[in-house]
Structure 1
Amino acid sequence: MRSAQELVAAAKSAIVEVSQDEAEAAVLAADVLIDVREGNEFRDGHIGGAMNIPRGLLEFILSTDEALQDRSRGIVLYCKSSGRAALAAKTMQEMGYLHVSSIAGGFDAWQDSGKPVAYPPKPDFD
């Protein structure tokens, strides 16, 4: 039986992982940026322009959302530290997506390197 760490390592060996130095350019060039963290993590801060699709729902949403059906689009994924995004990128490759990459170090490394963080708008009750 393989551990989660072994599954992530195997996924990382089969996908494109962009470094933090390349991350901003990859995000700007992407057709779609997907944050695969849970909703509460996304609300606590995310990369601007990202859509939130939690890892546990990814395959189902990709299979049903018309806007995500084009498997030739450039897609960049990220999570907290890169494990879930690597697994998601590998799954997307298996689903036929041709241009999928993951950000090395994930959101934590993005934030630690001083790159911009976005937050969902707060509700206005006035």
Structure 2
Amino acid sequence: MKTAHDLVAAAKARVNEVDLTAADAAIQAADVLIDVREADEFQAGHIPGAINIPRGLLEFKLSNDPVLSARDQKLVLYCKNSGRSALAASSLQEMGYLDVLSILGGFDAWAEAGKPVAGAALPPFE
């Protein structure tokens, strides 16, 4: 019987991960930057330019959106700490996507490194 950790480890062995030193260049070269976290996580803060497609909807959304269904586009994925994005990248590779990267360490590593973060601003309290 496998655990979630086992599944993530197996996915990480199959996918290409990019570390933070190469993440900016990978994002610049990407056709689409996808945050696979849940909507509330995305709203709390995300990498600028990312679109939010939660992990549970990813395969369906990409299959049904003509803009996202091209298998040769460059996709960069991330989540909180790179577990969900590794699973998502593996799934997309199985679907025939040819150029999929996952950001190693995910959003947590990105934010901790002081890289730019977009998100909902708090309303002013006056």
Q: Which residue of 2 aligns with 1:39?
A: 39
Report the CA distance between 1:25 and its aligned residue. 1.0
Q: Which residue of 2 aligns with 1:116?
A: 116
- Normalising by structure 2, report the TM-score: 0.94
For 1:101 and 1:73, the matched residues in 2 are separated by 11
For 2:48 and 2:71, the matched residues in 1 are separated by 23
Q: Report the AA paired with residue 49 of structure 1.
A: G
* Number of equivalences: 123
Q: Report the AA paired with residue 92 of structure 1.
A: L
Q: 1:11 to 1:122 in 2, by over 3 A?
A: same
Unaligned runs of 5+ in 2: none
1:1-126 alignment, distance < 5 Å: 1-120=1-120
For 1:114 and 1:25, the matched residues in 2 are separated by 16
For 2:121 and 2:31, the matched residues in 1 are separated by 23
Identity of aligned residues (%): 63
- Normalising by structure 1, report the TM-score: 0.94
Deviates further, 113-122 or 23-32: 113-122
Report the CA distance between 1:119 and its aligned residue. 1.4
Following TM superposition, the consecutive aligned residue runs of length 4 or more in structure 1 with deviations greater than 6 angstroms are none
